[in-house]
Amino acid sequence: MQFKSYWHDTAPRFAGGATGPVEGSYDVAVIGAGFTGLSAALQLAKAGTRVIVLEAGTVGVGASGRNGGHLNNGVAHGYASAKAHLGAERAKRLYKTYDDAVDTIERIVREEGIDCSFRRSGKLKLASKPAHAESLRKNFELIHAEVDPDTAFLTREDLRDEIGSDAFHGAMLSKKSGMAHMGRLVTGLAETAARHGATIYEHTPVSERRTEGGRSRLVTSRGTVTADTVLLATGAYTTEGFAHFRRRIIPVGSFILATRPLTQDEIARTLPGNRTYTTSLNIGNYFRLSPDGRLIFGGRARFSSRSDQTSDARSGAILRASLKQFFPHLADVEIDYCWGGLVDMTQDRFPRAGFADGVWFAMGYSGHGAQMSTQMGTIIADAILGRENRNPVDGLDWPTIAGYSGKPWFLPMVGLYYKMLDKIR
């Protein structure tokens, strides 16, 4: 078993990075070369903007290369809950933005010729308990009537053709959802942005931002650059130099296993529907098949803000037990990869994007970001260019978290709380 991301290990490395010292003047500096930063850089470069991307590690090293590979439409919350929190108009707008996000990825992949195994698979939200099936049905009825007719409700009997497990009691099908090879997608975005004129520096952490004469001066490990505008696209990996955002973003670990490639018989017994799947528990799981037939199986596993080999291995053991519970016929299947990464959570689990503390930003996707990050990068790039405001969370209040400065000391207690909820509800 390798303690590395399957997506990283099976994708080509980005070869178009800039070399030499970081210097000069740009229209826009983007901090972070994940889906948000790269999609923004692509949109800006295509508009003729001089844009530089500064990445502390390598392209896609953070959440963009460490996720479960789902490109799901629909809000992460129940739609009724989103309406109650955001109001009907904003909730509907946010829902449709998630729809548009999958469309945007499909368009970019098609137009730019990115080889990433993108396909529309549909997503099943699986009811882990009988009571959850009724809640899912009510959520489906509201969504189907108000915002998304491309949905369906599946009974427990219907699931027999979709998943080789009797652990679930029904499901909601979102037909617009998709999947892709995330390593090849993020590398393809970087290559495309560079081809259109974006300058991308890897291994270039930004240590300081100063304002001088209405422009930003960014100090990096390889030199200093100035820009009229800065876009912060670092999510859970935001550094202490951007304290405004650190006080609002909670980094939470998400952990994933990848099996050896399954045989055709094993695939037919496991996920014959070949969709993306998520379960309805608060501490739930998500899974899908990879392009080469592996079961990619992930979940929160442990409420931790660490992702290293020790933490990943402990979480991997928990995931292995869940995999065995759902799919007993795979109890002894070889695990080829085990990895983790940090998810950028907000307190209410709604994303945030806009302008604050002197920079543009988009983050807080709360575990539902592989598609939304690409969309929000494009939307914020358009805002920087003075185009139509399409930001679904524009002006949404984002208060600080009491007693929090960037180190989530409270995560173990949050984990215990959600475990209790999962037992009693």
Do 337 and 4 contact (CB within 8 A), yes or no? Answer: yes
- Report whether pLDDT(126) > 80: yes
Q: Is residue 20 part of a domain?
A: yes
How many angstroms separate the CA atoms of 276 and 270, rounded?
13
Task: Kindly state whether residue 373 falls inside one of the protein's structural domains.
Answer: yes
**Residue 226, SS3 per DSSP:** strand
**Is 402 inside any structural domain?**
no
**Full domain range(s) for residue 130:** 6-384
The pLDDT, as a whole number, for residue 387 is 97
Q: Residue range 19-33: average pLDDT?
A: 97
Residue 373 pLDDT > 90: yes
Residue 227's alpha-carbon distances to 9, 19, 24, in angstroms, are 34, 19, 9
CB-neighbour burial class of residue 100 (10 A; exposed 0-12, middle 13-18, buried 19+): buried
Helix (H) or strand (E) holding 112: helix 88-112
> How high is the mean pLDDT of the chain?
94
With bands split at pLDDT 50, 70 and 90, how would you rate the model's confidence at 301?
Answer: low
Number of folded domains that form the chain: 1
What letter would DSSP give residue 2? B
Instruction: Tell me the CATH number at 34.
Output: 3.50.50.60
Model confidence over 231-259: pLDDT tens digits?
999 999 999 999 999 999 999 888 999 99
Query: Does the global pTM surpass 0.75?
Result: yes
Residue 93, judged by CB atoms within 10 A of its CB (0-12, 13-18, 19+), counts as middle
